[in-house]
Amino acid sequence: MHSACEIPILHLDLQPNNLIICNGTVKLIDFDHAAGCRWANIAPKRFGTVGCAAPEQYDSDRMLDQRTDIYAIGAVLRFMTAGTLREDAGQSAALSEAFERIIRKCMDSDMEKRYASAGEVEDALQALCTRKLTEEKEQKAIPSHILILTGMKAGTGTTHLALGLVYFLNRNGYRALYEEHNVSRAVAAMAQRAGMRPDRFGIYTMNGCCLKPWYGPAVKLDEGTGFDIIVKDYGTDWQQAELELKAAKADLIGTGSASVWDGRYIRRYISWMNQAWTGRCSGNRVLIFRGTRAVCQKELKAMAKSDKALKGIKLFVSPEYENPFSQKSEDAFFQSLWSAVTGGGRWKKKRGLLRRWDFLRESFLKTAGSLQKGAGLSESQEQDGEQG
C-alpha cells in the first residue's frame, strides 16, 4: 500500500482483528479508514483502534505518513507475543532484547525515531530470525533445568511458590517457564481475567513470565525451546510427579504446613519424598513450610528424632508474601532457595552480575525464618535449613 502508488496509501487501522490467515498467507482486510497520505492529513476526523493507533492519530495538528502504520505494526507484534494490546503489559521474558528493541522502535512516540518504511521493519525481523535460528540450534544441545514442585496437601502454597520462583528467576536473567501439571486451572483463570491469549506453544506471557496451563493429555502442542529452567507444578498429584522424577533429571521442591494438626500429613509427605527419590544419585530436595517459625520448630522437633527421614532434605520456612509477581524483601528468600536447589555457593544472576550472597544466620532469620538449633535438628540437618 505504501509503495503501490506514487502517493503512499495509509491503512490507519492496522490491528489484530484486521489480519486473517488464508492458506498460510497473512492478509490485510478492512480498508474503511485507508486513505492517500495527502487526504489523510486534511480529513476532518481521524480514526483508529486504542492500543494500535499512533499518537499523531489523536492530534489533528500532527502529520500522518507511513510511519503511522509502522507504529501499528509494532502494536501487532506486541499483541502476537504478549497476547494483549495493553501498554502496561511489560516486557515478555520469552522475547529476546533484540526483538523488544524492534517493537520499541516501531512504537516510539517520536515519528522520527521509528523505522522509515515497512521494508526496514522486514529487514530487521529477517536479520533477527536468522540469528534466532542459529541460537536455537545451539540451545537444543543444552537441556533445561527441571524443578518439580508438589504439595503436602491442598492449600500449602505450591502454585504460589512456583509462580514466585519463576518471577524471581526471570527478573534475574533466566528464561524460566512455569508448567501447570494439575487441574487447578490457575493459569487459565489469570489469563481470562487479564484478557490474554496464548502463543502457538500454548504459553501465556503475564507479568514478564511464561506460563503454560494444563491442557490435559489429549492436547499435543509444539514444545517451546530455549528455556533455562522449567518449573513443573504437580500440586498434590504425587504419583505423576514421581513418574517425572523417575524419567528425568530434576530437583524436587515440596511445600507443607506445620500447623499442630498437620503432623500426620508431614510424616506421610516426607516418606513419599524419600520413596520418590529412591535410586537417584544427583539432584536436590527442598521442603518449604508455611506458618510461624515457632510452630514449625515445635512440629519438626518431634520429627527430627528420626534423622533418616530428613536426611538430605533441605528445610526452609517461607516468608509471607501476598503477590508472587510483586517481590521486595522476599528476594533474599528466593536467592537462598535457588542456591540450595543448585547445590549452594554464591547467588549468581544469569547475565553475569555476580552478587555476593553470604549465608549469614541473622540475615536469613529476618527474611526466611530459618530453623534454629533449638528445633532439635542434628547439626548437619540444621545447616541444610539455614543454607536456604
Q: Any idea where the domains of the chain sit in the sequence?
A: 9-138, 145-342
Residue 199, CB-side half-sphere exposure with 13 Å CA sphere? 21
The larger pLDDT score, comparing residue 330 to residue 377, is at: 330
In the CATH scheme, what is the code of domain 9-138?
Answer: 1.10.510.10
Residue 3 grid cell: 509503495
Q: In this model, does residue 347 exceed pLDDT 60?
A: no
pLDDT, position 344: 59
**Domain 145-342 superfamily per CATH:** P-loop containing nucleotide triphosphate hydrolases (3.40.50.300)
pLDDT score for 140: 56
Contact 10, 64 (CB under 8 A): yes
* Residue 145 host element (H or E): strand 145-151
Summarised one tens digit per residue, pLDDT across range 274-286 is: 999 988 778 899 9
Poorest-pLDDT segment among 88-102, 172-186, 366-380: 366-380
pLDDT value at 141 more than 70: no
Condensed to tens digits (0 to 9), the pLDDT of residues 20-36 reads: 988 878 899 999 888 88
Tell which residue, 11, 60, 61, has the closest CA to residue 36. 11
For β-strands 35-36 and 9-10, DSSP reports them as antiparallel
